[in-house]
């Protein structure tokens, strides 16, 4: 009987999917070679555009309203962001199946930081005491060395924070390189055993502040970078909170927008170099043919789209569309697919690919068949669903993708509808278009169906002041 496949899971924080498209100025040669060995998804999405809820969904296959982590861990009261632990994580299933597991880098799934309680036998997380000390020292060195060029976020009455900057400290001496070093040590030990292994490497980059090494930054012609068509979006016809949030960056010049993009892209290129170190070791070990390699991110970054940066609050594709590459034995090679799958769908997919006991939940579904037959199965993966509960500042959104349209149910303002085929940069909200009312009706029906199927308490919001949708769930067929 063949041994179960190893798993090398590569995760970034706040990385746009679009950087992997051909012709993009962001240079990712190692991810390009990984994509040539597997399937790259153009329309993968996050179930929530904030770190902790998205990562908890990845681990459990559950949507945030079911796993309990509805906002980012840290800076909130301890009882405001609690992971419900009665549901297992996929790493626990791997351990039950005889896997050796190790987790390295950013956790941010739940508040205890005890990764061992969730199936990770080797703890190389950023807040593990030894790693915490190493990374703190590295960040202090970077801070003392300073940045040039540099830009700060400066709003009266708020902390002055670095927006982007260029450092002379090389990537091997920054968090990305130090995390890679720990993961390489685990791989060196794991390949000596007969046990299958899972190595999860979670990088905190390219999350803001966008810090790039000088060598990578200088490979980019800043003045030649194109700005996205929506960088000066007036946000007319969109929820007012979007215009309110955009004020944080209202003083940015086009040159500063380009510098921010250059730092962001350069940071991703440096990450790509770390991916290359891990992939090279895998190839040299002779285990590449029996190893599933997954590369993804928890969510994207607005990166100047709609006059904003970071993530949360808006439903822009720049933050919901995430990179996803899966490669390995019995997986199609050199395929780019428009099929729509979610980050949380990786949970049942990995369990099926490894022959582990599945989770029986309606929130997610395996896309193993799609990996094996992308052309034949893509038509079964055309819809997506996400939810947002706010981050520190509560807000409610439910988001549906079906075909070319994206519909957003907003609990704080009027809804949104975008035609992603004709309007990929989401400049026109079609919510008041008479011609699109049937589409709106159909998408809202889809949202109510997902709410009902997954036990979302929003279905029980029947009080008159909570009736924010154009029609309620009682109109669904029983």
Per the structure, how many domains does the chain have? 2
Q: Which of 325, 354, 385 is the last residue of a domain?
A: 385
Distance CA 228, CA 322 (A): 17
Query: Which pLDDT tens digit goes with each residue over 317-371?
Result: 999 999 999 999 999 999 999 999 999 999 999 999 999 999 989 999 999 999 9
CATH number at residue 292: 3.40.720.10
Q: Kindly give, in sequence order, each residue whose CB lies less than 8 Å from that of residue 2, ignoring residues fewer than 6 positions away.
A: 290
pLDDT score recorded for residue 1: 39
Question: Comparing C-alpha atoms, which of 170, 111, 115, 161 is closest to residue 138?
Answer: 170
Does residue 222 carry a pLDDT above 70? yes
For tokens 């794991």, name the residue.
190
Confidence of residue 241 (pLDDT cuts 50, 70, 90): very high
- For residue 458, the enclosing domain spans 392-475
DSSP secondary structure code for residue 454 in this structure:
T
- Is residue 200 exposed (0-12), middle (13-18) or buried (19+ Cβ within 10 Å)? buried
- Per the DSSP assignment, residues forming a β-bridge with 11 are 202, 296
* pTM of this structure: 0.96
Q: Which of 385, 418, 435 is the last residue of a domain?
A: 385
Residue 1 in domain: no
Distance CA 460, CA 404 (A): 30
Q: Which of 338, 361, 385 is the last residue of a domain?
A: 385
Task: Kindly state the tokens that stand for 153.
Answer: 């976020």
Q: Which of 67-76, 362-371, 395-404 has the lowest mean pLDDT?
A: 67-76
Does residue 214 carry a pLDDT above 70? yes
Residue 400 in domain: yes
Distance CA 389, CA 442 (A): 23
């Amino acid at each position: 009987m063949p041994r179960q496949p190893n798993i090398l899971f590569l995760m970034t924080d706040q990385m746009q999917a679009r950087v992997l498209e051909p012709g993009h100025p962001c240079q990712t040669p190692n991810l390009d070679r990984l994509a040539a060995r597997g399937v790259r998804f153009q329309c993968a999405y996050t179930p929530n555009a904030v770190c902790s809820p998205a990562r908890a969904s990845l681990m459990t296959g559950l949507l945030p309203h079911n796993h309990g982590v509805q906002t980012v861990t840290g800076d909130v009261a301890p009882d405001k962001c609690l992971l419900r632990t009665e549901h297992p994580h996929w790493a626990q299933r791997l351990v039950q199946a005889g896997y050796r597991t190790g987790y390295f880098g950013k956790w941010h799934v739940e508040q205890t930081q005890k990764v061992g309680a969730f199936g990770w036998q080797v703890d190389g997380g950023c807040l593990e005491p030894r790693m915490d000390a190493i990374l703190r020292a590295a960040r202090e060195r970077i801070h003392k060395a300073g940045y040039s060029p540099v830009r700060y976020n400066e709003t009266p009455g708020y902390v002055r924070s670095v927006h982007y900057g260029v450092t002379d400290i090389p990537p091997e001496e920054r968090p990305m390189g130090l995390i890679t070093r720990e993961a390489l040590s685990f791989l060196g030990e794991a390949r000596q055993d007969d046990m299958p292994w899972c190595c999860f490497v979670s990088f905190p980059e390219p999350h803001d502040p966008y810090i790039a090494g000088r060598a990578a930054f200088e490979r980019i012609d800043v003045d030649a970078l194109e700005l996205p068509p929506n960088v000066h979006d007036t946000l007319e016809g969109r929820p007012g909170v979007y215009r309110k949030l955009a004020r944080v960056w209202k003083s940015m010049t086009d040159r500063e927008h380009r510098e921010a993009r250059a730092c962001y892209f350069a940071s991703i290129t440096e990450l790509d170099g770390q991916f290359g170190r891990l992939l090279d070791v895998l190839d040299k070990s002779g285990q590449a043919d029996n190893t599933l390699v997954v590369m993804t991110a928890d969510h994207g970054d607005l990166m100047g789209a709609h006059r904003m940066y970071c993530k949360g609050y808006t439903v822009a594709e720049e933050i919901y569309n995430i990179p996803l590459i899966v490669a390995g034995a019995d997986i199609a090679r050199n395929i780019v697919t428009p099929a729509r799958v979610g980050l949380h769908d990786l949970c049942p997919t990995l369990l099926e690919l490894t022959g582990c006991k599945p989770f029986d939940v309606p929130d997610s579904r395996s896309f193993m068949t799609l990996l094996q037959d992308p052309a034949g199965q893509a038509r079964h993966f055309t819809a997506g669903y996400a939810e947002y509960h706010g981050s520190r500042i509560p807000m409610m959104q439910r988001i549906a993708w079906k075909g070319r349209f994206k519909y957003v149910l907003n609990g704080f303002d009027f809804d949104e509808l975008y035609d992603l085929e004709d309007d990929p940069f989401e400049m026109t909200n079609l919510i008041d278009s008479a011609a699109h009312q049937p589409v709106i009706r159909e998408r809202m029906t889809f949202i109510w169906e997902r709410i009902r199927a997954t036990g979302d308490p929003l279905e029980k919001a029947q009080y008159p002041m909570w009736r924010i949708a154009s029609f309620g769930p009682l109109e669904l067929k029983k």
